[in-house]
């Protein structure tokens, strides 16, 4: 790859011009001097999560789409109970639909131990049917207002590598220490304290604290998304970063239903000389999503986009890397649900070292994946093509 100077010279004007689209009233807050750490597997992530909970002195804020009552879920409950006993204030937001299979006794035990709970979007006919389809898909823990852990990990054994082989999920997470944690805490508190339906989708802006405590050299922007927004900040963050790429775009996502705007952005990037590689799942916990994603393969492959499918595990990582330096990473998939109907939290992390770690990890996964060839893809059977067309009719709801 060319020098950092040449890359910045090519992409910076385009990035600055497009960045203003992210929020209609003002530019996103850039939190500088953060320390970021990448967790490239479930065991590493959950060890860091439990260590962070054990170190908590004042507050623990958790927000998760799915929490299982299994080995990892029980371990989390045990750590939270111990923290509550030593006087730490704990608040947990969980998605009601996402945790539908989790026994209510799990949450009752947490409440008895002193954990304050908020079940997000409990179905109610009094609010009509509009809200039934909304999910809190965020995944984050904030400890003492100074440390945040985020990524694609839900709370469950399949995410932690505690199950064998093909039932295991391949995911990544990361932690942030520094100014950016302030805004993440504001996003959480907006959901907890405000009108849960109205406020959770609004961007919570928190200006960086002026402090001499410089944790690191990573610049971080927080992108909070939700269905109450007038337009999708999550999708626009992806578009802005794709449009700013000068040399390389690497994307990993488990659910790929990008829509015409993202597809056009990727094809434009290829036409201006950017190498675009997509890492997608060969197997999925939601099989219909594979049909939906593969329906767009031909257009992308003809346009020069490279597509790879991970086979040995179920891909669940959600990350985009631009020019080896700037990552968009968090809870959001490249699909219509994450763009329009889920509450999501993504971070734009601009840091050469962090980007280099993600690039090395993604290239390793790509090398171990199968390449999707256009001629082979075009020979898929008529039954598959018909199923793709049928599923596409319901793509908005998946």
Is 323 among the catalytic positions?
Answer: yes
Could you tell me if residue 90 is inside a domain? yes
What is the domain range of residue 28?
4-203+218-397
Could you tell me if residue 211 is inside a domain? no
Mean pLDDT value across residues 351-361:
97
Q: Which of the pair, 189 or 289, is modelled with greater confidence?
A: 189
Could you tell me if residue 35 is inside a domain? yes
| Residue in 69, 323, 335, 350 annotated catalytic | 323
Q: Which of the pair, 377 or 384, is modelled with greater confidence?
A: 377
Mean pLDDT value across residues 298-303:
96
Could you tell me if residue 175 is inside a domain? yes
Mean pLDDT value across residues 190-205:
58
* pLDDT value at 101 more than 70: yes
* Cα distance between residue 294 and residue 282, in whole Å: 10
The pLDDT assigned to 167 comes to 79
* pLDDT value at 39 more than 70: yes
| Residue in 31, 40, 68, 139 annotated catalytic | 139
Could you tell me if residue 210 is inside a domain? no
Is 139 among the catalytic positions?
Answer: yes
Q: Give yes or no for a contact between 140 and 184, defined as CB atoms under 8 angstroms apart.
A: yes
Q: Which of the pair, 246 or 25, is modelled with greater confidence?
A: 246
Could you tell me if residue 166 is inside a domain? yes
| Residue in 134, 318, 335, 340 annotated catalytic | 318
CATH number of 62's domain: 3.30.870.10
DSSP label of 334: B
Is 137 among the catalytic positions?
Answer: yes
How high is the mean pLDDT of the chain? 87
Q: For the whole model, what pTM was predicted? A: 0.88
Mean pLDDT value across residues 205-210:
48
Is 368 among the catalytic positions?
Answer: no
Residue 292 binned pLDDT confidence (cut-offs 50, 70, 90): confident
Q: Which residues on neighbouring strands pair with residue 219, listed in sequence order?
A: 350
The pLDDT assigned to 10 comes to 58
Query: Which of 142, 148, 72, 81 is closest to 110 using CA atoms?
Result: 81
Is 195 among the catalytic positions?
Answer: no
Mean pLDDT value across residues 28-37:
91
Length of the chain counted residue by residue: 398
Count other C-beta atoms under 10 Å from residue 63's C-beta: 27
| Residue in 10, 137, 171, 350 annotated catalytic | 137
* Cα distance between residue 64 and residue 319, in whole Å: 18
Helix axes 287-294, 382-393, angle to 10 degrees: 100
Could you tell me if residue 38 is inside a domain? yes
* pLDDT value at 20 more than 60: no
Q: Which residues on neighbouring strands pair with residue 35, listed in sequence order?
A: 177
Query: Which of 291, 259, 110, 123 is closest to 197 using CA atoms?
Result: 123
* Cα distance between residue 231 and residue 102, in whole Å: 33
Is 316 among the catalytic positions?
Answer: yes
Could you tell me if residue 239 is inside a domain? yes
- Per-residue pLDDT tens over the stretch 273-289: 999 999 999 998 887 78
Number of domains in the chain: 1
| HSE-CB for 72 with a 13 A CA cutoff | 22
């Amino acid at each position: 790859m060319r020098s950092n100077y040449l890359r910045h010279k090519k992409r910076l004007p385009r990035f600055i011009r497009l960045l203003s689209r992210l929020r209609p009233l003002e530019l996103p807050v850039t939190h500088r001097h953060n320390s970021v750490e990448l967790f490239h597997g479930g065991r590493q992530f959950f060890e860091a999560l439990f260590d962070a909970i054990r170190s908590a002195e004042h507050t623990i804020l958790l927000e998760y789409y799915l929490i299982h009552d299994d080995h990892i879920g029980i371990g989390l409950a045990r750590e939270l109970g111990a923290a509550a006993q030593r006087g730490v204030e704990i608040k947990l937001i969980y998605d009601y639909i996402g945790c539908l299979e989790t026994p209510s006794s799990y949450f009752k035990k947490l409440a008895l131990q002193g954990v304050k709970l908020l079940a997000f979007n409990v179905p109610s006919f009094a609010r009509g049917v509009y809200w039934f389809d909304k999910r809190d898909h965020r995944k984050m823990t904030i400890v003492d207002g100074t440390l945040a852990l985020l990524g694609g990990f839900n709370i469950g054994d399949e995410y932690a590598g505690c199950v064998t082989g093909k039932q295991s999920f391949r995911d990544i997470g990361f932690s942030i220490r520094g100014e950016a944690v302030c805004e993440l805490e504001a996003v959480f508190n907006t959901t907890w304290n405000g009108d849960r339906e109205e406020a959770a989708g609004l961007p919570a802006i928190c200006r960086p604290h002026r402090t001499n405590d410089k944790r690191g050299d990573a610049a971080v922007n927080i992108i909070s998304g939700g269905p109450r927004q007038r337009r999708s900040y999550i999708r626009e963050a992806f578009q802005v970063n794709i449009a700013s790429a000068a040399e390389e775009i690497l994307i990993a996502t488990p659910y790929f239903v990008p829509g015409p705007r993202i597809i056009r952005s990727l094809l434009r990037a290829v036409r201006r000389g950017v190498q675009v590689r997509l890492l997608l799942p060969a197997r999925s916990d939601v099989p219909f999503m594979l049909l939906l994603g593969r329906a767009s393969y031909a257009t992308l492959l003809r346009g020069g986009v490279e597509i790879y499918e991970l086979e040995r595990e179920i891909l669940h990582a959600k990350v985009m890397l631009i020019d080896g330096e700037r990552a968009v990473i968090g809870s959001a998939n490249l699909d219509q649900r994450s763009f329009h109907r889920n509450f999501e939290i993504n971070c734009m992390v601009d840091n050469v070292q962090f980007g280099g770690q993600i690039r090395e990890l993604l290239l390793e996964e790509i090398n171990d994946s199968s390449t999707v060839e256009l001629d082979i893809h075009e020979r898929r059977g008529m039954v598959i093509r018909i199923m793709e067309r049928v599923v596409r009719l319901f793509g908005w709801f998946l």
